[in-house]
Chains A and B, each alone.
Chain A
């Protein structure tokens, strides 16, 4: 029973991480219908950028965090401007392969600069975030994850529901032509969605780095694990990304705990194929209305 509960807690925590990693991904898809295969590399870029600032630059953690967020914001804008804007309206395979190419470029770049070894951050989370519930132990980083994901969920919810920019972004995703006719700056919306997505990605990269250490290969593998998560939650639902993340996290830890550790990494994809066959739009995705 204890083992079960510990697995449950771990599963939820890992799942939350997958969830926030997937949020940025969903955001890009929502605004511009681009499937971003370079998401894992964005996570890694954020994590490494932060690492350099903290360990080599000796900048205080809070300032480094802020700088990283700003850097990733700019990076997102640049990616959109130079690589994706020329492809608006192009065939799907070109857009997909462009992000695949970008992934290879970023990965190569990261390996060139930081190498393929495992790096760790200095300890900076306060010990007060540690919890012992009976025999169950929650590491500080997991409770930090919980807090961050809830904060971001609420922030995004408010942003998309209340703020004008958020509503403009949704309107572009909904009906691009009508948005254009009302003077919504569609190109700026695309750039903004990439910028925000890159920011979220780098933040989740940092959190992942705190837990597992920073390593390109691990982080880019998580970028691919985003796919089962978002398919489960629905490609365009941010709340769905969190719930999908938790389900995938639980599945992984329970398979790892009870069945076999090697099956752990494949289970999400098996589930993915199953979901795609049964409910292609996921649990919370909007069903596309297709008329001939």
Chain B
């Protein structure tokens, strides 16, 4: 593993002073890697991302314990303006475009971390990754399709020159072909720019294909980690996330569920 870019040490997150969502999460992200974060709904993946990017406060959440070190700087409970300027950009779940802004204006908001600097080249760069956006650049984002919007929000994040890009469920609600396209581009961004990427995904199959390293979360804790290869070969991960039995035949959902009840990691 290369040099560590982001390090979470035993962090706890509490919402509204009462609901504890993360119960001591530690993970590290190596520079230049794609790290994927797997887990079922409510496991705490999105909360982990928000704890890193400082977006917990508007939701009345707080990191109560532990530390988050990025590039040697402690960013725990800092304001999002500060964290984004350190080079961490989160792409929110569920494609949150600015509906009443055009595609190009949406992309320009991505330059908020370095206002006043030229952005024309970055626009070209984003358009070269996502050629589909070029002919829609004058259209209001509210009228674009889901696939275009996903490209838009990733492109918008790229405009900020992030060192660490965090993607929250980029495949949500998209057609399989579009998902493949998006993952291909994610890979390409990682290779060409050396951007470190944290990927939260339900689609574990796709995620483990592109990722170098992976963590599995459950109930606010990390329960398993390993290289993407190791995880993909792990029989438990196979059963729960890839839907394959040891024999290689997909089990019915019912069986997986009952099995899961017996065999919890914690």
Contacts and interface: CB of A to CB of B under 8 A. Distances in A.
Direct A/B contact, Cβ within 8 angstroms: yes
B55 A185 contact: no
Interface in B87-131: 89-92, 96-101, 105-106, 108-113, 115-116
Identify the interface centre among A168, A174, A177, A183: most chain B CB within 10 Å of its CB.
A183
B80 A168 contact: no
A180 B116 contact: no
B111 A164 contact: yes
A182 B109 contact: yes
Contact of B157 (A170, A179, A182, A289): A182
Interface in A154-184: 164-165, 167-168, 170-171, 174-184
A175 B111 contact: no
A166 to B, nearest CB: 9
B101 A164 contact: no
Identify the interface centre among B100, B110, B157: most chain A CB within 10 Å of its CB.
B100
Contacts, number: 80
B77 to A, nearest CB: 15
B81 A175 contact: no
A181 B55 CA distance: 7
B108 A164 contact: yes
Given A183-B112, A184-B112, A177 B55 contact: yes
Contact of A171 (B81, B91, B98): B98
B84 A182 contact: yes
Identify the interface centre among B98, B101, B116: most chain A CB within 10 Å of its CB.
B98
B112 A182 contact: yes
Contacts of B222: none
B171 interface: no
Identify the interface centre among A175, A177, A182, A185: most chain B CB within 10 Å of its CB.
A182
B100 A170 contact: yes
Given A168-B109, A170-B101, A177-B92, A182 B156 contact: yes
Contacts of A66: none
A182 B160 contact: yes
B99 A175 contact: yes
Identify the interface centre among A178, A185, A289: most chain B CB within 10 Å of its CB.
A178
B2 interface: no
A184 B89 contact: no
Contacts of A170: 98, 100-101, 105
A118 interface: no
Given A181-B53, A182-B156, A175 B98 contact: yes
A263 B106 CA distance: 47
Identify the interface centre among B91, B105, B111: most chain A CB within 10 Å of its CB.
B105
B229 interface: no
A191 to B, nearest CB: 13
A286 interface: yes
Interface residues of A, number: 20
Given A164-B108, A164-B111, A181-B92, A174 B55 contact: no
A288 to B, nearest CB: 11
B58 interface: yes
A180 B113 contact: no
Contacts of B108: 164, 167
B96 A167 contact: no
B99 A180 contact: no
B85 interface: yes
A165 B115 contact: yes
A167 B103 CA distance: 12
Nearest to A178: B96
Contacts of A289: 99
A184 B113 CA distance: 7
A254 to B, nearest CB: 35
B98 A164 contact: no
Given A164-B116, A183-B89, A177 B58 contact: yes
A167 B80 contact: no
A185 B116 CA distance: 14
Contacts of A174: 98-101
A193 B105 CA distance: 19
Given A170-B101, A178-B98, A183 B92 contact: no
A178 B100 CA distance: 13
A181 B90 contact: yes
Contact of B58 (A167, A180, A182, A183): A180
A164 B101 CA distance: 13
20 contacts: A167-B105, A168-B115, A170-B98, A171-B98, A171-B106, A171-B109, A174-B101, A178-B98, A180-B80, A181-B84, A181-B89, A182-B89, A182-B109, A182-B113, A182-B160, A183-B81, A183-B85, A183-B112, A183-B160, A289-B99
Given A182-B110, A182-B156, 12 more contacts: A164-B115, A171-B101, A175-B98, A179-B112, A181-B55, A181-B89, A182-B84, A182-B113, A182-B157, A183-B81, A183-B160, A184-B109
Interface of A: 164-165, 167-168, 170-171, 174-185, 286, 289
